[in-house]
Amino acid sequence: MEDREDLGGISDCAYNKLDSQEELTTEEQEFFSNQQKQKVSVSLMIPKSSLSRYHQLIILAVFAVILLAVDIGLGVYYNKLTSGQRIFTDMNNELAKLQASYTTATQRKTEANKLLAKEMSEQQLTMWELEHQSRATKDFERRTNKIRLETAALKSHMPMIKEGCRHCLPGWTYMFSMCYYFALSDDVLRRSWQEARNFCMRYGADLAVVDTREKHLAISELITNYYDTSRNIYQSGFWIGLRDVEYEGTWKWLDGTSLAAGYWNDGEPNNQGNEDCAAAYPRSNPFKSWNDAPCNHGLKWICEMTAKTQS
Ligand code: BGC
Ligand code: CA
């Protein structure tokens, strides 16, 4: 009986059957025997099941703890992954924002550059206009100055012109009982010494013979009053009737008389190149007025002729 208890409830049933086995037929015995074998094998397959329940619970608890730990681990891992992904997404968003800001900044820079280029071109235009205006202003000032100068010159010249109306040809100036023509205007085409002489001769005159101090000072004052100082002095000379064409250094007037006293500028006459004709220049010091120049130079000129006596 002790052995039977060891086998448990199922075994009890099997032994009960075995107790009455003698009363059974062979077939029945065989059947029970088979059943017996099956029960034994089942009981062998789950050995000591009622004893292991505690262990099973422990194992299950261990498993549960492991599973919980794995779950927590996975949770932590997932959390880390998620936060990593979040950081990645945030970084992507930041990058996208930065790219957008960069694009906007680039566009703004391009627009600013265009605006700057436009401003610069407008500024350039303004500068050119300013330059143009200041040139125009300077030109205007120069012309105003010239008009002022000519007005002053004309005022001092007026009495001689008035007298010229009585004694001379129109536009000629009366001085020292003689008539003078001054090619004063800058618009008058400059001529060589011979061309200038030809002009004078067409009116029965000749290039001026400036053989007295008074005559020279009067002529000098007149041409200086009209002088536009912005012009080159060497283009502002007036041919007079004096040459050294026959003998170099021997200066003679057109009437054949030799020069007694000249009003040469310092260092003149210097015959630079070949200078055989004399001209009077509008210098502030009238005693340094003359220069010898090449006769083919284009200059202004002064004609002289005897005045008409009043009838
Ligand atoms: C010289 C003059 C010369 C003139 C010719 C000047 O530079 O000083 O002597 O007659 O040039 O244009
Ligand atoms: Ca000279």
> Residue 236 sits in a domain of what CATH number?
3.10.100.10
4 occurs within a structural domain = no
Task: Provide the domain count of the chain.
Answer: 2
177 and 280 co-located in one domain = yes
What separation in Å is there between the alpha carbon of 264 and the centre of ligand 1? 12
Measured by CA distance, the residue closest to atom 7 of ligand 1 is 234
What is the residue-level pLDDT of the chain in tens, covering all 311 positions?
334 444 444 444 344 444 444 445 565 556 555 555 544 444 445 455 555 778 888 888 888 899 888 888 888 888 888 888 888 999 999 999 999 999 999 999 999 999 999 999 999 999 999 999 999 999 999 889 888 888 988 898 999 998 899 999 999 999 999 999 999 888 889 999 999 999 999 999 999 999 999 999 999 999 999 998 888 999 999 999 999 999 999 999 999 999 998 999 999 999 999 999 999 999 999 999 999 999 999 999 999 999 988 65
Last residue of a domain, one of 146, 167, 188: 167
176 and 267 co-located in one domain = yes
> What does the pLDDT read at residue 70?
86
> What does the pLDDT read at residue 25?
57
47 occurs within a structural domain = no
What separation in Å is there between the alpha carbon of 291 and the centre of ligand 1? 7
How far apart are the C-alpha atoms of 179 and 256, rounded to whole Å?
Answer: 20
- One-letter amino acid of 120: M
pTM over 0.75: no
What separation in Å is there between the alpha carbon of 272 and the centre of ligand 1? 7
227 and 291 co-located in one domain = yes
* The two structure tokens encoding residue 110: 């391009």
Last residue of a domain, one of 145, 167, 189: 167
201 and 289 co-located in one domain = yes
Answer yes or no: is the C-beta of 304 below 6 A from any ligand 1 atom: no
Q: Are 224 and 284 in contact (CB under 8 A)?
A: yes
What separation in Å is there between the alpha carbon of 2 and the centre of ligand 1? 161
> What does the pLDDT read at residue 46?
47
Answer yes or no: is the C-beta of 85 below 6 A from any ligand 1 atom: no
Alpha-carbon 204 to chain mean position: 65
Domain, as residue range, for 278? 172-306
Residues bordering ligand 2, an ion, CB closer than 5 Å: 268, 270, 272, 275, 291-292
- Which of the listed residues 239, 272, 274, 276 should we mutate to test ligand 1's pocket, taking the one with most ligand atoms within 8 A of CB? 272
How far apart are the C-alpha atoms of 182 and 196, rounded to whole Å?
Answer: 11
162 and 221 co-located in one domain = no
In what helix (H) or strand (E) does residue 173 lie, and over which residues does it extend?
A: strand 173-175
Measured by CA distance, the residue closest to atom 11 of ligand 1 is 234
Answer yes or no: is the C-beta of 276 below 6 A from any ligand 1 atom: no
> What does the pLDDT read at residue 265?
98
> What does the pLDDT read at residue 136?
96
Residue with tokens 């055989």: 276
Last residue of a domain, one of 167, 188, 207: 167
163 and 195 co-located in one domain = no
How far apart are the C-alpha atoms of 240 and 209, rounded to whole Å?
Answer: 7
251 and 183 co-located in one domain = yes
Nearest to 170 by CA among 157, 181, 183, 178: 181
84 and 133 co-located in one domain = yes
Answer yes or no: is the C-beta of 234 below 6 A from any ligand 1 atom: yes
205 and 156 co-located in one domain = no
